[in-house]
Amino acid sequence: PPGVLESSMPLTWTGSCNLLVVTVATKETDGFRRFMRSARHFNYTIKVLGRGEPWKGGDYMTEPGGGQKVRLLKAGLQEMEEDKVVLFIDSYDVVFASGPKELLKKFQQTRHKVVFSAETLIWPDRHLEDKHPHFREGKRFLGSGGFIGYVPNLKEMVADWTGEDSDSDQLFFTKIYINPEKRKSINITLDNRCRMFHNLHGSLDEVVLKFEDGQVRARNVLYDTLPVVIHGNGPTKLQINYLSNYIPTVWTFETGCSVCLEDLRPLSGLKESEYPLVVIGIFIQQPTPFVSVFFETLLKLEYPKNRLKLFIYNQEQHHEVAVSSFLKDHGKEYQDVKVIGPEENMDRVASRNLGLDMCRQDKDCEYFFSMDIEVVLKNKDTLKILIEQNEPIIAPMITREGRLWTNFWGALSADGYYARSEDYVDIVQGRRVGVWNVPYLTKVYLVKASLLHEELSNNDLFSSGTLDLDMAFCHNARNKGVFMYVTNMHTFGRMLSTENYQMSHLHNDLWQIFENPKDWEERYIHENYTKIMRDKLIETPCPDVYWFPLFSDIGCDHIVQEMENFGQWSGGRNTDTRIQGGYENVPTIDIHMTQINYEKEWQKLLLDYIAPITETMYPGYYTKAQFDLAFVVRYKPDEQPFLRPHHDASTFTINIALNQKVLDYQGGGCRFIRYNCSVEAPRKGWALMHPGRLTHYHEGLRTTAGTRYIAVSFVDP
């Protein structure tokens, strides 16, 4: 088969040409798998040296090394046929942008027997600069991460190697190249205009992606060349990761993502007991709105609960009720639950490490799914989708309503903070859809447990002197060569804003209409509100009186409970210091929205949800939803059972039933006297809208049992 690994099975395919690609890979990293995928795509024949050997050649962040590669190449060349052309390249940070035919053609055009990749920067010994030959155009310095040549010439070149594995291969080859006799005898030159090789270090600004005919190339704009081998040498690992989201055909405009459905781990067809065991880490680190909604969403995740264990870290006393209520009702449905509460005073770093450790110590745990409490996962299949994608670390892309903010970064700045990648906006806005290798993830992501035993076995992955938690975690993953991905192949959900979250009320979420309008709407607005116009849900129980669904049951309950918790009901007397003039002609027992500091939120409710209906039902009238009076009225048989006939001080009035007839009270309703027409069975959460003055003289009918609550607004007084 094409692209076969010689180290793991006999080479049964010799390719369409005389080229053998040789690389050193002591272990199979994410970078190596990427290299192999691009090699297979172009039918290269690959020979891997050093499989299973410990690596002693250093890395790009330490002193020069790489001698081990020369030793392995020297031994490997002894078994190779003399007429072969060998391409010797690194693999962990390399991708092919084109095939062997183009590479060989360009090699032959050089009319040399060995061609090295070229670099802008000299390394590791700057004192040798003057000894490098000059070119009329192009790069002067040798790069040892890629070279191509005939077997006899390569044998001659490495014949004198007697160095240690930790010695510098770059220095060894450089000294051969700058020696005029050896350079001539072996017949070496450099690919100085990047026709075959492009080393990214020192020349990032020379490279742009070129999309053409269903293929993606890296174009060198300085020399107007299309290199075949792209090498993220030195500190350019993130840039090769970015380019390899596209090169060679990973994502194109014609096909979209061509590899997103490869190497999947399908879960369909498995019995529940065969699903991978997942530890879900839930982290509550600051006061956050809609915590109870988070747990309701968690319950709806499409995944067998007996294959889930929960690790819950709650730093907020304020949220203890929501956590304990969820566990009391549903804790036993999960295989295991561990809770770290505020009383334990555990810091954030320790809690993250402990969560990962719960999975690491459990031999059955296959994944750790980390979720911050402010994540709103709307897609019930999120966990299944991420597992099936079968990546080392993967996040579902979540956004913040109306902003370009997401839970990933497309690039990093030089100091390791946020930088916007060229494709970031296209990915966020869904113009490019796929699974993207990125340098940073936060808020919600899935980690394979196998990593926790190998590359990420360190017990402290989250602490760093200068970086925050997730930056430290991602930094550690990157340094171990672990790839992190974000997928936007589905819509997954969004992120709550935790700014301006007040905790001084009973139901603080009611105040979130400005900060988190979408979540506020889903929680508090009636599920049929958006269908009002389409499905003609507006009823007309009396002339010019319109009746439509507005609040959800929870919305009604929270408003009533908030008012009862506040508790300062008026006495129902004519004298009322809360209103202008201090006198109320037709008093009720009520609490004004201003008393609980809810007037701004109430006006936004009227503007967003009432004004559009007003303008439809009363054509030609446009409201700014101004009001002096908006209040909740309480009717009780032994307190104030009814309200005498009256006009409202409004252009139009909104009257919302906040509880349920029969269940909560008997009697009640509203009678419009001029039309002798009554609405006697108000539906909970439904609003009555009617003109206030002149035509709609009305009365509140007697409540005969229980307690009835309504929310009334006199709009445009």
Please state, in angstroms and rounded to a whole number, the distance separating the CA atoms of residues 147 and 113: 11
Cα–Cα distances (Å) from 40 to 13, 21, 210, 261, in that order, read: 12, 12, 21, 17
The pLDDT of residue 396 = 98
CA atoms in the 13 A half-sphere facing the CB of 539 = 12
The pLDDT of residue 573 = 85
68 has pLDDT over 80: yes
Identity at 196, one-letter amino acid code:
M
Compute the residue count for the chain: 717
Reported as a single tens digit per residue, the pLDDT across 347-358 is 999 999 999 999
Cα–Cα distances (Å) from 345 to 146, 285, 315, 323, 342, in that order, read: 53, 12, 8, 17, 6
Reported as a single tens digit per residue, the pLDDT across 396-448 is 999 998 889 999 999 999 888 999 999 999 999 999 999 999 999 999 999 99
The pLDDT of residue 2 = 36
* Closest C-alpha to 714, from 646, 659, 617: 646
- My answer on whether omega of the bond before 543 falls inside 30° of 0, hence cis, is no
Range in 46-50, 157-161, 327-331, 569-573 the model is least confident about: 569-573
The pLDDT of residue 577 = 80
CB atoms < 10 A from the CB of 553, how many? 15
Cα–Cα distances (Å) from 15 to 3, 18, 43, 96, in that order, read: 8, 7, 6, 16
Please state, in angstroms and rounded to a whole number, the distance separating the CA atoms of residues 11 and 570: 90
Rounded to the nearest 5°, which phi and psi values hold at 604? -65, -40
CB atoms < 10 A from the CB of 522, how many? 15
Reported as a single tens digit per residue, the pLDDT across 534-543 is 888 999 999 9
Where does residue 328 rank: exposed (0-12), middle (13-18), buried (19+ CB within 10 A)? Answer: exposed
Please state, in angstroms and rounded to a whole number, the distance separating the CA atoms of residues 217 and 230: 10
The pLDDT of residue 313 = 98
The pLDDT of residue 695 = 93
Portion of the chain with pLDDT greater than 90, in percent: 89
Please state, in angstroms and rounded to a whole number, the distance separating the CA atoms of residues 443 and 462: 13
The pLDDT of residue 326 = 98
Average pLDDT over residues 243-272: 96
Average pLDDT over residues 530-555: 95
Identity at 259, one-letter amino acid code:
V
* Closest C-alpha to 561, from 614, 623, 508: 508
Please state, in angstroms and rounded to a whole number, the distance separating the CA atoms of residues 146 and 677: 89
Task: Tell me the pLDDT band of 1, cut-offs 50, 70 and 90.
Answer: very low
| Catalytic (active site) residue 674 | no
Please state, in angstroms and rounded to a whole number, the distance separating the CA atoms of residues 130 and 144: 19
Range in 168-177, 181-190, 298-307, 458-467 the model is least confident about: 458-467
- Concatenated DSSP letters for 193-213? T-SSEEE-TT-GGGEEEEEET
634 has pLDDT over 90: yes
The pLDDT of residue 335 = 98
Please state, in angstroms and rounded to a whole number, the distance separating the CA atoms of residues 55 and 90: 14
CB atoms < 10 A from the CB of 300, how many? 11
Structure tokens at 239: 């840039």
Average pLDDT over residues 366-395: 98
The 3-class secondary structure across 251-294, one letter per residue, is EECCCEECCCCCCCCCCCCCCHHHCCEEEEEEEECCCCCCHHHH
Task: Tell me the pLDDT band of 62, cut-offs 50, 70 and 90.
Answer: low
Rounded to the nearest 5°, which phi and psi values hold at 231? -125, 120
Q: Considering the chain, what is the average pLDDT of its residues?
A: 94
Task: Tell me the pLDDT band of 10, cut-offs 50, 70 and 90.
Answer: very low
Structure tokens at 77: 């060349």
Task: Tell me the pLDDT band of 13, cut-offs 50, 70 and 90.
Answer: very low
Cβ-based neighbours of 269, under 8 Å, separated by 6 or more? none
464 has pLDDT over 50: yes
Quick check: 85 and 150 in contact, CB under 8 A? Answer: yes
Average pLDDT over residues 584-609: 94
Q: Which residues of 244-275 are buried (b: 16+ CB within 10 A; e: fewer)?
A: bbbbbbbbbeeeebbbbeeeeeebeeeeeeeb
15 has pLDDT over 80: no
CA atoms in the 13 A half-sphere facing the CB of 347 = 7
Where does residue 193 rank: exposed (0-12), middle (13-18), buried (19+ CB within 10 A)? Answer: middle
Please state, in angstroms and rounded to a whole number, the distance separating the CA atoms of residues 577 and 313: 48
The pLDDT of residue 56 = 85
Structure tokens at 2: 């094409």
Range in 227-241, 513-527, 577-591 the model is least confident about: 577-591
Torsion sign over Cα 485, 487, 492, 495 = positive
Quick check: 632 and 560 in contact, CB under 8 A? Answer: yes
Kindly give the interhelix angle for 169-177 and 67-77, rounded to the nearest 10 degrees.
Answer: 70
- My answer on whether omega of the bond before 612 falls inside 30° of 0, hence cis, is no
Long-range contact list for 33-38, CB < 8 A, 24+ apart? 34/95, 34/244, 34/483, 35/91, 35/92, 35/94, 35/95, 35/96, 36/3, 36/5, 36/91, 37/259, 38/95, 38/96, 38/97, 38/244, 38/247, 38/248
The 3-class secondary structure across 483-511, one letter per residue, is CEEEECCCCCEEECCCCCCCCCCCCHHHH
Quick check: 436 and 389 in contact, CB under 8 A? Answer: no
CA atoms in the 13 A half-sphere facing the CB of 691 = 12
The pLDDT of residue 60 = 55
Structure tokens at 456: 């990420």
Reported as a single tens digit per residue, the pLDDT across 644-685 is 999 999 999 999 999 999 999 999 999 999 999 999 988 999
Please state, in angstroms and rounded to a whole number, the distance separating the CA atoms of residues 606 and 598: 12
The pLDDT of residue 395 = 98
